[in-house]
Amino acid sequence: MKVLLVDDHPLILSALQAMIQELDPDVKVTAVGSAAAARSALAADADFDLVLLDLQLGDASGFDVLVEMRKAHPALPVVVISASDRASDVIQAIDLGAMGFVPKRASNDTLVDALRLVMAGGIYVPAMHLGSQAGPASRAASPAIPAAETATYQVTPSFEELGLTPRQADVLTQLLQGKPNKEIARRLGLSVETVKDHVQAVLRALGVSSRTQAVLAVSQMTQQRLERRAVPR
């Protein structure tokens, strides 16, 4: 496995590189400190399996670099690593094609869980409360558990929880993996129009209006499950 780390802070870059290589000595890590160096690394070697990208780079906006990478290397998963954990930044990163968003304050275990999920085809987002953005799934939220203490990521809810048909649940699974409608249609053997209908049904079931909000709402539901399990009986 080959990982590209992009962060203009030398200490953080070294810490991430050491942590990943300690977890798996077979992982080859390339660490660069700028957007320009990241472009050069990808131009020289297009076989990276994963990119960890900081949002605050000295020579470019991390969001702009994310857009560049998604256009030039659409099959390459990019996970944002950021000092910010604002919901607006998480939403923007996922909207732009990131397969995950991990706050820098998160624990090593959280980062490991996030990377495993992304490499398995999922999308990782930190635990957060989205207010009305995430519809009914988030309205009964209790006080948040810090993402650094809870390895929380989206798990497809049960049919009973959302009232989805099995096919709609299949579509939701694909949405959580960031797949566009055409790809979902191909994978499930459906027409694009049928997929659009199922997507709308999923959004209505979650009480949200966009695919990104759906991902975040499911993450919120998972967070609430963990909170309930943590309450002493």
> What integer pLDDT is reported at residue 225 of this predicted model?
58
Report how far apart, in Å, the C-alpha atoms of 18 and of each of 4, 24, 114, 133 are.
13, 10, 17, 37
Question: What does the alpha-carbon distance between residue 223 and residue 6 come to, in Å, rounded to a whole number?
Answer: 29
SS3 call for 101: strand
pLDDT at 153: 43
The pLDDT, as a whole number, for residue 224 is 58
pLDDT of residue 228: 58
pLDDT of residue 84: 87
Q: What is the mean pLDDT of each run of 10 residues along the chain (233 residues)?
A: 93 87 85 95 92 92 94 91 87 87 86 81 68 37 30 49 86 83 93 94 88 77 57 55
Provide the pLDDT for residue 32. 95
Q: Quick one: pLDDT at residue 116? A: 81
Report which of 128, 211, 205, 117 is spatially closest to residue 167, judged by C-alpha positions: 205
Tokens 């950021």 belong to which residue? Answer: 82
- Domains of the chain, start order: 2-126 (3.40.50.2300), 135-230 (1.10.10.10)
Q: What is the pLDDT of residue 18?
A: 86
Token representation of residue 25 = 């000595």
Residue 111 to residues 124, 148, 191, Cα–Cα distance (Å): 10, 9, 37
Q: Would you mind telling me the total number of residues written for the chain in this entry?
A: 233
pTM of the model: 0.68
Which contiguous run of DSSP H or E holds residue 213? helix 211-230
Kind and range of the H or E run holding 17: helix 10-23
Residue 160 pLDDT: 63
